[in-house]
Amino acid sequence: MEEHKSGIPLLGEKLPIMQVQTTHGEISLPEDYKGKWLVLFSHPGDFTPVCTTEFVAFAKRAEEFEKLNAQLLGHSLDQVFSHIKWVEFIEEKIGVKIPFPVIADEMGRVATKLGMIHPGKGTNTVRAVFLVDPHGILRLMIYYPQEIGRQIDEVLRALKALQISDENKVAMPENWPNNELIGDKVIIPPPKDVKTAAERKNMEGYDWWFTYKDLK
């Protein structure tokens, strides 16, 4: 049974339950990705230059996402026939095979539930990215306007950072692992009591509220 909530979802919420038609057949969200990370991303339209550059970049990094136990899933309001023809075009003319499925959201059900159609942009979706964890929980959202293409390496970086944060119970600094202050070190969450704060003064860092460590 599908959930009928509309609008931009909140981080920490479950991805709405949806049955979607894709270029690889029907998919149940988020059930079919249980146990894996899902990278769901929308594009404004097939056969457009910026979207084509993004699809090529996602495809070239598909194996890197796979190594991180993540699956790619594209989306737009185009018909499945259009998706199939566009994917064929990319392989034939550019030489890049698109290995991931693409949702054909003709009626805009998925776009409406995830807040991907913004005022003033007609019926096209924005360039949204949703990172969903193996439990179906929405962990990160990135929204770009139609005019600006995404940097796919940033999506990979954010996915790696989330996974390391979850596994080690740490926070990740700006531009990790290339932060200007602490490099590839990770931040220890701030203490919640006086005793722990006093213990932190002997740890590597700028002060008891800003301590960090190597993962190695």
Domain 169-216, architecture per CATH: 2-Layer Sandwich (3.30)
User: Which two three-digit tokens encode residue 131?
Assistant: 């990172």
**CATH code for the domain defined by 18-150:** 3.40.30.10
Q: Which residues contact 107 (CB under 8 A, 6 or more apart)?
A: none
Catalytic residue chosen out of the listed positions 20, 29, 38, 51: 51
pLDDT band at 126 (very low <50, low <70, confident <90, very high): confident
- The angle subtended at Cα 24 by Cα 89 and Cα 113, nearest 5°, is 100
Quick one: average pLDDT of 64-85?
98
d(CA 57, CA 55): 5
Domain ranges of the chain: 18-150, 169-216
pLDDT in tens, 87-121: 999 999 999 999 999 999 999 999 999 999 877 65
Q: Which amino acid is at 82?
A: S
pLDDT-wise least confident of 18-22, 121-125, 139-143: 121-125
Does 159 participate in catalysis according to the annotation? no
CA quadruple 45, 48, 51, 55: dihedral sign: positive
d(CA 6, CA 112): 6
Quick one: average pLDDT of 61-82?
98
The answer to whether the CB of 212 falls within 8 A of the CB of 188 is: yes
